[in-house]
Chain A
Amino acid sequence: MNNSLLVVLIASGVAYGTPLLFAALGELLAERSGVLNLGVEGMMLVGAVMGFWTVERVHAGTAVTLVLALAIAAVAGTVMAAIHAFLVITLRANQIVSGLALTIFAGAAGLSSYLGNDLNLADQPASKTFHAFLPSGMQDIPVIGPILFGQNALVYVSWLCVIAVGLYLSRTRPGLNVRAVGESPAAADTMGINVTAYRYAHTLAGGAFAGVAGATVTLAITPQWVDGITGGAGWIAIALVIFAFWRPELCLVGAYFFGALQALAPQLQARNISLGPTTLWTNSLPYVMTILVLVVVSSGTARRRLGAPSALGTAYVREEH
């Protein structure tokens, strides 16, 4: 039963969806503060390479090494996000241009590629990885075992993050403030909320999440490093935030849906199920979905109706005259 296609698909959807979920939560925080960061893919790739590098170079206990790897990936993502934050918040550059530039600079064939090749990380499996750690008795429970208990530690961390981000935004004063900054920076400023500080903090937090998302790929999903290993997951994460109406709990649902789509092709192949002469369409399904979502929501009115922060993508200038 636990090997049925549906159970395996959901279980691996959760696993594959986890990097998407981390990246989407980070992007959600940045966007709620009004900063659109299209550099997610780039930040993820830098996080992916730095996390993998830590595991290969640090010789400590497994748990210590892996936690350190996550921390370094988070820092790497934060540093990348800081470039974007400085450009768009302090210098008020165009957010779309800056974000694209960040992905080009940091992404495949860019900084992450240079780091990975220079540090000789390619073509070797990760020496330490995140894997299922709960007792096999729990993992063997029919249906829910593999889905809920057969996951690596990062999946459970991501669940805590969803709850934390959700409560933060809806129930806390800083959460209320950041929503105000993203909706109406002028109102927030008048009320004494430091718009610049909030935007920096949440853009940087978004970078940290993206870095962790990247490390999730190289240390849990496909435990190795190759150039461009995230394969567009950063873009899917950006679409996911819109898809989830900027709500963390819906990010989780969406991430697992896209994760399951990604898992579909290999699973069908492994079972010798053929849905046509080519697996092209199953491989491209997540990307097609992403493009569709982005097309649907790219009009301003659609975005407003869906609940996009009103000030998303715009710089804030205090003096109005």
Chain B
Amino acid sequence: MAQPAVSMRGITKRFPGVLANDCVDFEAAPGEVHALLGENGAGKSTLSHVLTGLYHPDEGEITLFGERVAFTSPRDAIDAGVCMVHQHFRLVERFTVAENLVLGDKRGAGRRFRIDPRAVESQVRALGERYHLPVDPHAHVWQLGVGEQQRVEILNALYQDARVLILDEPTAVLTPEEADTLFLTLREIAAEGRTVIFISHKLHEVMAVSDRVTVLRAGKVIATVPTAGASAQSLASLMIGHDVEAAQRPANGRDAGAEVLEVEGLWAQGDRGVAAVKGVSLTLRAGEVVAVAGVAGNGQRELAETIAGVRPSTKGSLRVDGRHLKSGDVRASFDAGIRYVPEDRLGTGVSPSLSLAMNLELRSYRKSSLGPFLRLRKMRENAEKAIVDFDIRAPGPDVPAANLSGGNLQKVVIAREFAGEMKVLIAASPTRGLDVSAVATVHSYLLDAAARGTAVLLFSEDLDEILALNDRVVVMYEGQLSEVADRESIEEIGLRMAGGTPDAAAAAAEAP
């Protein structure tokens, strides 16, 4: 084979208490799409940050096109032609697209003291046409959707003439359709002889886009295989190292029970003061899991918060067991039997600096305390019991919640919310960022709750999770819900996530 574009040899990177990369060897050829596959925490991001100069490896060496390099900053890497599209975009939101491109430009026009962002606009348009990345160079980044912002990031890398382009979980913010377009763009970039490194933990994406796959597990390279010779199953077992028994909903399980939660014509505002939930009606029955699919930012968080009583509604009504619920009253919602596992578990789910015991008591201390005094010993005993019951891995009940890992934090939230009579459970992206075994644990808790007659409303962006757990699927798009007829049809869910309906798609297919 020709000289590799990227060659990393024996890369070791240690963080306090963690060996993030353990003597990793990685190689990518010019003109290939190389997937870096692994679970959360397997060391993919660390490896890419070493390659882009954000981290300095403790050991090992990197060669680019045969030349030894030692980057001390992301800028060094960009100058050498290594650009990264981060999960959290590195764009200045208040700048225009053109200004953002000029910002990183250290060649030609961009070097001059006087700047003129208008000068790059024609270049932006030309690049956009060539790579299917249409973007208005005048637009301010904050006006763009996430998909468009990602295009700007990729354009920026191409504008810097990247020879190696790294994308960190790029599809997390995209609809399935947008993801397909992205894959097309990536193939074109690779066809020009550039190297694309595609970081993901989603198997079907890796299968769809890559030429070769390097699998990381616990900081080590497990294997590098050509995609053509691999299957999703073989990659999964490489990635996980053992078979994980996935929680599976019994197909069209039990009869749905009585109606527990009735949402009617609900409207609510987002943080910026514009309507985010626009006339949502939904009925949940006891014992069913209703999954809400959708691309992030379509009002899911606001809907979850409104039902949980955290956010007041502006119109419409909520009823639990037929009784009207006051809007925006968390305590009333809790007393009515609504439980809430929020999306942002560290910021909203717990109070990070309070102890584990105190966090477990946040919902119930009013009832358990003696007048103004907390019963600390009782709290600690309850916490010790919860640690055992929910298998929370923590040094003890007094440890601050912030010191727990994501999975254990989620167990703390679940342990607290599951107390008392739970009629409705709202779980917002409950497994985001958790490793595979913690995901399985959280799933089993959700299914247990449903089996005990709780109506579960699961918000998720992960289609695999939605397909595994749901009794019914609804899709949220621009503040409104639409029911998916076939709960196992990825196509229909994907279509609705992009704002389409099957009828419209059928009509479009028929039209000449």
Contact = CB atoms under 8 A, between A and B. Distances in A.
Contact of A191 (B55, B78, B115): B78
B90 A176 contact: no
Contact of A187 (B46, B91, B102, B273): B91
Contacts of A180: 92, 95, 103
Interface string A184-224: 10111111110000000000000000000000000000000
A187 B99 CA distance: 12
Given A171-B114, A171-B115, A188 B103 contact: yes
A173 B115 contact: yes
Interface residues of B, number: 35
Instruction: Report, as a range, how many residues of chain A touch the other chain.
Output: 20 to 34
B52 to A, nearest CB: 8
B73 interface: yes
Interface string B147-180: 0000000000000000000000000000000000
B502 to A, nearest CB: 39
B115 A187 contact: no
Interface in A161-177: 171-177
A318 B54 contact: yes
B315 interface: no
Nearest to B104: A191
A192 B91 contact: no
A213 B86 CA distance: 43
B115 A176 contact: yes
Interface in B46-85: 46, 54-55, 73-76, 78-79
A271 to B, nearest CB: 47
20 contacts: A172-B114, A172-B115, A176-B103, A179-B95, A183-B94, A183-B95, A187-B91, A187-B92, A187-B100, A190-B86, A190-B90, A191-B75, A191-B90, A192-B75, A192-B76, A307-B94, A310-B93, A318-B54, A319-B54, A321-B15
Given A175-B115, A176-B103, A179-B94, 9 more contacts: A179-B95, A180-B95, A180-B103, A183-B94, A190-B86, A191-B75, A191-B90, A192-B74, A192-B75
Contacts of A4: none
Most central of B102, B103, B111 by chain A CB within 10 Å: B103
A3 interface: no
Interface string B369-393: 0000000000000000000000000
Given A192-B75, A192-B104, A301-B271, A187 B90 contact: yes
Contacts of B100: 187
B461 to A, nearest CB: 21
B92 A189 contact: no
**Main SS of the interface on chain A?**
helix
B112 interface: yes
B107 interface: no
B254 interface: no
Contact of B92 (A175, A184, A192, A307): A184
B106 interface: yes
Interface in A282-321: 301, 307, 310, 318-319, 321
A88 to B, nearest CB: 21
Contacts of A189: 73-74
A299 to B, nearest CB: 12
B103 A187 contact: yes
A176 B101 CA distance: 11
A105 B324 CA distance: 58
Interface string B83-127: 000101111111100011011101000111111000000000000
Contact of A184 (B73, B93, B106): B93
Nearest to B55: A319
A186 B15 contact: no
Given A177-B103, A190-B74, A191-B104, A184 B91 contact: yes
